[in-house]
Amino acid sequence: MTPYQFFATTPKNMESLLADELRGLGAEDVTETRAGANFTGTLAIAYKICLWSRIANRVLLVLDRFPAADPDALYRGVQTIPWETHFTPTETFAVELNTSQSQITHSHYGALKVKDAIVDQFRTRTGTRPWIDTEQPNIQINVYLRRDEATLCLDLSGESLHKRSYREAGVAAPLKENLAAAILLRAGWPEIAQDGGALVDPMCGSGTLPIEATLIAADIAPGLQRKHWGFLNWKKHDAKAWEALLDEAHTRKVEGLKKLPSIQGSDCNPSAVRAAQTNVEQAGLADFIQIDHLELEQCRAADPDHPGLVVINPPYGERLGADSNLADLYFRVGQLLKEHFLGWRASLITGNPELGKKLGLRATRKHSLYNGRIECKLLHFEIKPELFTSNQARPTPLPAEKLSEGARMFANRLKKNLKHLRRWAKREGIYCYRLYGADLPEYAIAVDLYQGEKCWVHVQEYEAPKNVDQQNARRRVREALSVILEVLELPEDQLFFKVRRQQKGTAQYEKLAANKHYYEVYEGDCRFWVNFEDYLDTGLFLDHRITRSKLAELAKGKHFLNLFAYTGTGSAYAAKGGAKSTLTVDMSNTYLQWARRNLILNGFDSDKHRTEQANCLEWLDQAAKQNNKYGLIFLDPPSFSSSKRMEGTFDVLRDHVSLIKKTVKLLEPDGVLIFSNNLRRFKMDREALPGLQIKDISRSTLPMDFERNPRIHNCWEIRWQND
């Protein structure tokens, strides 16, 4: 028997998976092409692929290939096929044509020419014609035009094979079934399931991944529930071969469900959970898949004794930065995996690889896939401590008897600083200050004291360069922690430790953990909430202490605006200083909530002290149109931001002139702008800002505890020039 020629289509970047699958199902002469694969085989093999392919979109029987440089050539080529041998005029049909690099550029027009050729042939030979049904035709004709050559096909699938007939309820942007299968195959799920490993999907949406995982693990044909097929009304349909394949698939399903491992999905969205449960029932798998309504942090393995695969399709989003809820979500996913799925494997698909970095895990493998038109990265992880990228685990302090001579020198420096600064702090009424700032090169750490009802110490290690012996660097950190606890006479639970890497943009604001432990500390007449664990910085910039006091001095009787406000400490000071009103603007809802808590803590809970979530750059444009005016403005932008909530990027060195010009438009005639940033190489472009009095107050706003680091911030007082 002469084998038929076929072509199977699939989404881009899934071609190799499809080719392997086709070979496994008995196809011969398999060759990958763009978005598909060619193969040869019998009708029974083609039917088997229709029924069992988890990756293909369509299986097409190639009827002919011919040149089609113009519409007439296309018409003539289609008419060479004896269409009455494929279907009768009583059947409906539809034509789909795709064209690329051809003189026929309009696909709809090309499809009409193919339809006309078929209808005209039937009318000539039988005196009647078949009708078009674009919804669910009896026969589907597909034509591919590439470089003026037409490939004319009969679609055996009828409709895309990703439609398994179990999806009754959906959620926004559901994952296509064959993409879900590709994710699972790339993740190694067939082997994991065969070894008895469980599957957990903590963001299951409408349940596609758990359902596809069950179909794979239980050896269930993905097309077993479909009722409509493109070949059922085809005259050459081999019904006997098809029925044999169905009987075999039903038998395999019964046997496969007997050895199914634990499979569970959960979601925090009740609507998604209901949709998933409905789809699981429609798939006939309600007894085999557990779907629960859970917050992400509540997700646990139902069968922890059988580690397996955690598979996740989180939101991709287009917003990234310290303000991004998605960045926080990805961080929480990483925490969940590290805390509750040790020894498991995990695979996560994301359309924004930058978000993948928030997981705190090092990917062992990566694949590129397309979710619709979105190019995605499928990231694979082994949940092992040595693959964690989070650097916030505190080293264990060394016992006193193991301290080196260098540690003794560090202890002496710390005692000297403490004696000197403690007297100064008491005299000035200062409760939170820097005790040590990498004074000794061997001990490159910053030590900050925070006083509330208790004294807490916040230690940040400046990450050692690559050429420094990492083992020695780690030992010195352990020595330093031991000395700090000894000198300050503090218990270990009052010491917090972080590694401070070189930051880009708003990275200092990004979440490192999600413990949500806040501590009340004092500064002058104000009180603030700080967080020592969840972020690189605590929520209170100690080097801005004098700057905040200056805001209080200038604010009396004025309307105060705080832009890029972070946790709103400047607003609390302005309110304490007697401001008529304060407006706190930041892009991050997290930090605005923090700012509101700080205002309330200081007794300012009224309509006069408002917060507003907005992109500050866009907000400035809107405020100028509304002619809003303020007597005092505090402007403290990041050095750099690539947040997707902003168009392009923000660079304070490059963009400070336009930013200041926008901001001073909101100043009252005698108003004052305090402009600050912490870019060490920053240089104010005074010539580009005519009409303004610009006074550098960086030195006068530098607190004594930061005098060893005079470039830690830049600060200017800006006013309109008097005529």
Q: At what angle do helices 270-282 and 208-217 cross, to 10 degrees?
A: 30
Q: What is the pLDDT of residue 324?
A: 47
Q: What is the pLDDT of residue 173?
A: 64
The hierarchical CATH code for the domain 520-720 is 3.40.50.150
Domain 400-502 has CATH 3.30.750.80: yes
- The three-state (H, E, C) secondary structure of 92-111, written as one string: EEEEEEEEECCCCCCHHHHH
One fold for both 177-219+256-387 and 520-720?
Answer: yes
Using DSSP's 3-state secondary structure scheme, residue 284 falls into coil
Range with lowest mean pLDDT among 115-119, 414-418, 501-505, 674-678: 501-505
Q: At what angle do helices 616-625 and 652-664 cross, to 10 degrees?
A: 20
Q: Is the pLDDT of residue 462 over 70?
A: yes
Q: What is the pLDDT of residue 514?
A: 55
- Rounded to the nearest integer, the mean pLDDT of the chain is 91
Q: Which amino acid is at 88?
A: T
Q: How far is residue 515's CA from residue 501's CA, in Å, rounded to a whole number?
A: 21
Which of 164, 281, 177 has the alpha carbon at shortest distance from 226?
Answer: 164
| pLDDT tens string 400-409 | 777 888 999 9
Structure tokens at 38: 């060619």
Q: Over range 620-628, report the average pLDDT.
A: 89
Range with lowest mean pLDDT among 105-114, 124-133, 302-311: 302-311
Confidence tier at 387 by pLDDT (50, 70, 90)? low
> What is the side-by-side strand order in the sheet with 495-500?
433-437, 445-451, 455-462, 495-500
Q: What percent of the chain lies above the pLDDT cut of 90?
A: 76
Q: In sequence order, what are the residues at sequence separation of 6 or more whose Cβ sits closer than 8 angstroms to the Cβ of residue 378? A: 183, 186, 187, 347, 348, 349, 366, 367, 368, 369
> Do the beta carbons of residue 198 and residue 307 sit within 8 Å?
yes
Look at the domain 177-219+256-387 and name its fold: Rossmann fold (3.40.50)
Q: What is the pLDDT of residue 171?
A: 65
Q: What is the pLDDT of residue 466?
A: 61
Using DSSP's 3-state secondary structure scheme, residue 143 falls into strand
Q: What is the pLDDT of residue 391?
A: 39
Q: Is the pLDDT of residue 321 over 70?
A: no
Q: Is the pLDDT of residue 255 over 50?
A: yes
Q: What is the number of residues in the chain? A: 723
- The three-state (H, E, C) secondary structure of 617-655, written as one string: HHHHHHHHHCCCCEEEEEECCCCEECCCCCCCCEEHHHH
Domain boundaries, the chain: 4-155, 177-219+256-387, 400-502, 520-720
Q: Over range 491-517, report the average pLDDT.
A: 66
Q: Is the pLDDT of residue 508 over 80?
A: no
Q: What is the pLDDT of residue 641?
A: 81
| pLDDT tens string 129-149 | 999 999 889 999 999 999 999
Q: Over range 539-550, report the average pLDDT.
A: 97
Q: What percent of the chain lies above the pLDDT cut of 70?
A: 92
| 204/2: higher pLDDT | 204
The hierarchical CATH code for the domain 4-155 is 3.30.2130.30
Q: How far is residue 308's CA from residue 205's CA, in Å, rounded to a whole number?
A: 20
Q: Over range 455-482, report the average pLDDT.
A: 82
Confidence tier at 642 by pLDDT (50, 70, 90)? low
Confidence tier at 723 by pLDDT (50, 70, 90)? low
Range with lowest mean pLDDT among 179-183, 373-377, 560-564, 642-646: 642-646
| pLDDT tens string 425-446 | 999 999 999 999 988 988 999 9
Q: What is the pLDDT of residue 624?
A: 87
Q: How far is residue 328's CA from residue 363's CA, in Å, rounded to a whole number?
A: 19
Q: In sequence order, what are the residues at sequence separation of 6 or more whose Cβ sits closer than 8 angstroms to the Cβ of residue 672? A: 554, 631, 632, 633, 717, 718, 719
